[in-house]
């Protein structure tokens, strides 16, 4: 249970970081719906390197975290959005190898590693160099892996609320 709380906290952290010191874009962005789609694309690309037995099981559905602007305190609606999934049907004894597969995929496909907790903690965090989407893979204390993807700050409809 404690590890599940830790995973949920880490997911919140991945979604919170864009709002902490990140720039609030004054120009157009993709819409939040497009950002959810892009998050799914990032997850699909990463999961494709895992064994075919993997099954994605939603952990929390659509996630949205306001990107706080010092001017409006987040009232503008700009947010980082994303999704998190459990990676089911993977043998626990293969967790390290599966995290290695994801790490290799990410480092070969334009992602910068922002944190790697191994060997003490089976968790890797990355950010895509082109679109600034963040991803992570983590293991719960029970041995379940989860994968997350979140967007940079995006406007609900793609244009700043002024």
Q: What is the pLDDT of residues 130-147, one digit of tens each?
A: 999 999 999 999 999 999
Which range, of 23-27, 44-48, 109-113, averages the lowest pLDDT? 23-27
Beta strand 79-88 pairing with 111-116: unpaired
- On whether the pTM is more than 0.85, the answer is no
CA–CA separation, 141 vs 91, rounded Å? 14
How many CA atoms, within 13 angstroms, populate the side-chain half-sphere of residue 4? 5
The per-residue pLDDT of the chain, averaged, comes to 86
CA–CA separation, 34 vs 81, rounded Å? 10
| Confidence band, pLDDT 50/70/90 cuts, at residue 77 | confident
Q: Are 66 and 19 in contact (CB under 8 A)?
A: yes
CA–CA separation, 61 vs 158, rounded Å? 21
3-class SS at 13?
helix
Average confidence (pLDDT) over 78-91 = 96
pLDDT at 57 over 90: yes
Which DSSP state fits 19?
G
pLDDT at 16 over 60: no
Average confidence (pLDDT) over 125-132 = 98
Q: Are 153 and 25 in contact (CB under 8 A)?
A: yes
pLDDT at 19 over 60: no
């Amino acid at each position: 249970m404690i590890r599940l709380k830790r995973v949920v906290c880490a997911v919140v952290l991945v979604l919170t970081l864009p709002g902490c010191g990140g720039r609030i874009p004054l120009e157009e962005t993709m819409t939040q719906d497009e950002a959810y789609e892009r998050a799914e694309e990032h997850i699909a690309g990463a999961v494709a390197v895992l064994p075919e037995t993997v099954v994605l099981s939603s952990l929390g559905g659509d996630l949205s975290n306001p990107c706080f602007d010092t001017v409006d305190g987040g009232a503008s609606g700009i947010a980082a959005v994303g999704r998190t999934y459990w990676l089911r049907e993977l043998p626990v004894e293969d967790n390290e190898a599966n995290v290695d597969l994801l790490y290799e995929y990410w480092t070969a496909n334009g992602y910068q590693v922002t944190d790697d907790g191994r060997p003490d903690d089976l968790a890797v965090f990355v950010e895509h160099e082109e679109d600034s989407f963040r991803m992570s893979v983590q293991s719960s204390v029970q041995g379940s892996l989860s994968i997350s993807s979140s967007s940079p700050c995006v406007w609900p409809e793609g244009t700043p609320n002024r």
